[in-house]
Amino acid sequence: MVGETTPASGAQPGRRAGRDESIVWLAMSVGLALALVGLVDGFVMALHRHVASCPNGTYFPQGTTNFNCYVHPNAGAGTAIAAISGLLGILVVLSAISVAANLRSGSTARSVSAADQQASS
């Protein structure tokens, strides 16, 4: 029939694109979870501290009861890991949006070309 947009045989393009798009969103969720783990791990590394000996001449305010000095040995690496994880999370989201939009536009083009092929036969 002329004007029918569903192909006569085979998988329907819209249904396949919907399945592919759900795979994209699932992969995005996994990627975001991994980026979040990296972000938390980076902050934990940056904030982890160790007691160190205080250098001579260290000033302590009046009324101080804790005379310990602390160092953050992994502050730089932790901050870098947190920043990279945050950027990777943004990249994962933007990539997923781009792929999903591409799948949607590709499924529309496939269904139109299938309708054209059926109409011409």
Sorted by sequence, the CB contacts under 8 Å of residue 68 that are 6+ apart come out as 51, 54
Name which of 7, 80, 13, 5 is nearest 45 in CA terms: 80
Give the pLDDT mean for 12-20.
Answer: 66
- Is residue 57, in this structure, part of any structural domain at all? yes
Residue 13 has pLDDT above 70, yes or no: no
- Is residue 48, in this structure, part of any structural domain at all? yes
- Is residue 8, in this structure, part of any structural domain at all? no
Residue 96 has pLDDT above 60, yes or no: yes
Give the pLDDT mean for 75-89.
Answer: 97
Report the percentage of the chain scoring pLDDT > 70: 74
- Is residue 11, in this structure, part of any structural domain at all? no
- Is residue 10, in this structure, part of any structural domain at all? no
How far, in Å, CA of 4 to CA of 8, rounded?
A: 9
- Is residue 83, in this structure, part of any structural domain at all? yes
Residue 9 has pLDDT above 70, yes or no: no
Give the pLDDT mean for 96-111.
Answer: 80
- Is residue 5, in this structure, part of any structural domain at all? no
pLDDT at res. 7: 52
**Which residue segment(s) compose the domain that 68 sits in?**
25-114
